[in-house]
Structure 1
Amino acid sequence: MKVLAFDIFGTVVDWHGSIAREMAQLHPQVDGDAFALAWRAGYKPAMARVMSGELGWTLIDDLHRMILDTILPQFGLAHLGEEERRHLNKVWHRLDPWPDSVEGLTRLKKKFTITTLSNGNIGLLTNMAKRAGLPWDCVLSAEVFRAYKPDPATYLGVAKVFDLKPEEVMLVAAHHDDLAGARKCGLKTAYVERPLESGAKNPKDVSPRPENDYHCASLVAVAEALGC
């Protein structure tokens, strides 16, 4: 293996906790936990509209804004103006990393080329990395390939960018559907446990699955497993 590609939302950064914390500061009357879940719930349906051809190619920033405008009335925030909505939508650029992320990535970077492979757009991923200190060698996005994961164009695109065979690339993610898509394209896979991705009230099953090459409790554990 020469390149490690990382899913971002939920794997490297804590989207739920970050959004809930921001809502507590901006709009303390709103249930931040429920707001974060509602916003994220619109993610896959919105991408499906693009993948089906109902919508043309759309950046995740714009899909996030479409979902945001839909859910604001549900939480008594229909009155927010354009500037407030734009600021709130950019919360996805301000997501906090999990406590182990920067250390784990820094260690892995010494031995491997590390890159994002996210449905998030390039500007979002770059702003996030700058703020959070995520030490990427490269920022790859669905925007580069004009296809959302799990389209094979994304996983095979990483190998093509670096002129590698698929088996020389490993996807690191906290989502089994993402890893399954990568595996079908010949990539290696590492599952990272993020039991609290959707908040403490909604713990998820992080049991090992034999089809993955590695199963790790954190990104630091991934580094240890790979001798970094």
Structure 2
Amino acid sequence: MTIRALIFDVFGTLVDWRSGVAREAEHLLRPTAPVLDGGAFADAWRARYQPSMETVRSGARPYVDLDVLHGESLPGVIAQFGIGSVPEPVCRSLILAWHRLDAWPEVPAAMARLRESHLLAPVSNGPVRLMADLARRNGIVFDAVLGAGYSRDYKPKPALYRDAVEALGFTAAETLMVAAHSDDLAAAACHGLSTAHVARPREHGPAGGETAPCLPVTYAARDLADLADQLGC
């Protein structure tokens, strides 16, 4: 089956969320927490990511975007680290730190190669504005912005994968879900999509990341450049 479109997980797969959030937290919170371990702060914030989205996935509340969820979870993280009062403008800037993440080194060039012969779109839990900001920051060109902001729900709910296939107009098998997380790929495969695992062994810093998929996939790649090579780009 010819792959005609690629859809991407973003946090961890295309961008290094941990290093970016750690850097911003250490900088923005220095006046009140001069010896903050930014990596630990990023990990603690990320630990609230899935539980916050589950409130939407479960139907307990209507859809709200990830910026709202990050804003709701931030005070708890600040309290967890024993940090004193943080001004509201600093909190807002911390939330927007997720909009200022850097891509993994090979990603911009690999995305340009892939786009020569495929349609590209994020299918992320991040909202449209966040995806646009990350794309502009890292010189990535998407043909569409899909995912949570488009489907009004969070992965791994079926709508995100089905809506992406329908929006791009190819068959599910012609649409390749690219992720560094086996659970994301398992959900995509349930809906007939082709799947590509990209290893990100440093996603969680000292805690590592997935070096190989935990399930059968269509492609398994060392990084995004390797995936582009495998696709003949």
- The question of 1:215 aligning with 2:220 is answered yes
The residue number in structure 1 matching 2:65 is 59
Distance of 2:175 and 2:213 partners within structure 1: 21
- The question of 1:39 aligning with 2:45 is answered yes
Identity of aligned residues (%): 41
Please state how far the C-alpha of 1:58 moved relative to its aligned partner.
1.0
CA RMSD of aligned residues (A): 1.2
The change in CA–CA distance for 1:174 and 1:205 in structure 2 (over 3 A counts) is: closer
1:4-153 superposed matches below 5 A? 4-26=6-28, 27=30, 28-153=34-159
Structure 2: where are the runs of 5+ without partners?
Answer: none
Distance of 1:169 and 1:116 partners within structure 2: 12
The residue number in structure 1 matching 2:230 is 225
Q: Secondary structure at the match of 1:149?
A: coil
Please state how far the C-alpha of 1:78 moved relative to its aligned partner.
3.9
- Per-residue displacement from partner, 1:108-150 (whole Å, max 9, x unpaired)? 0001011111010001111111112112122112111112111
Q: Secondary structure at the match of 1:190?
A: strand
Distance of 1:69 and 1:216 partners within structure 2: 38
- State the AA in 1 paired with 2:60: E
- State the AA in 2 paired with 1:204: G
The residue number in structure 2 matching 1:191 is 197
Distance of 2:157 and 2:116 partners within structure 1: 30
Q: Which stretch of structure 1 is more off in the superposition, 129-138 or 186-195? A: 129-138
Distance of 1:124 and 1:152 partners within structure 2: 22
Distance of 2:27 and 2:114 partners within structure 1: 34
Distance of 1:214 and 1:104 partners within structure 2: 16
Distance of 2:47 and 2:106 partners within structure 1: 26
Q: Secondary structure at the match of 2:55?
A: helix
- State the AA in 2 paired with 1:213: T
- Per-residue displacement from partner, 1:169-189 (whole Å, max 9, x unpaired)? 000000000000000000000
Please state how far the C-alpha of 1:49 moved relative to its aligned partner.
1.1
Q: Is the 8 A contact 2:181 2:213 kept in 1?
A: no
Distance of 1:23 and 1:148 partners within structure 2: 26
Moved over 6 A (4+): none
Please state how far the C-alpha of 1:95 moved relative to its aligned partner.
0.6
Q: Secondary structure at the match of 2:112?
A: helix
Distance of 1:117 and 1:89 partners within structure 2: 20
Q: Is the 8 A contact 2:180 2:210 kept in 1?
A: no
Distance of 1:136 and 1:205 partners within structure 2: 25
Distance of 2:47 and 2:212 partners within structure 1: 23
- TM-score relative to the length of structure 2: 0.94
Please state how far the C-alpha of 1:54 moved relative to its aligned partner.
2.0
Q: Is the 8 A contact 2:22 2:39 kept in 1?
A: yes
| Structure 1 counterpart of 2:186, from 163, 177, 180 | 180
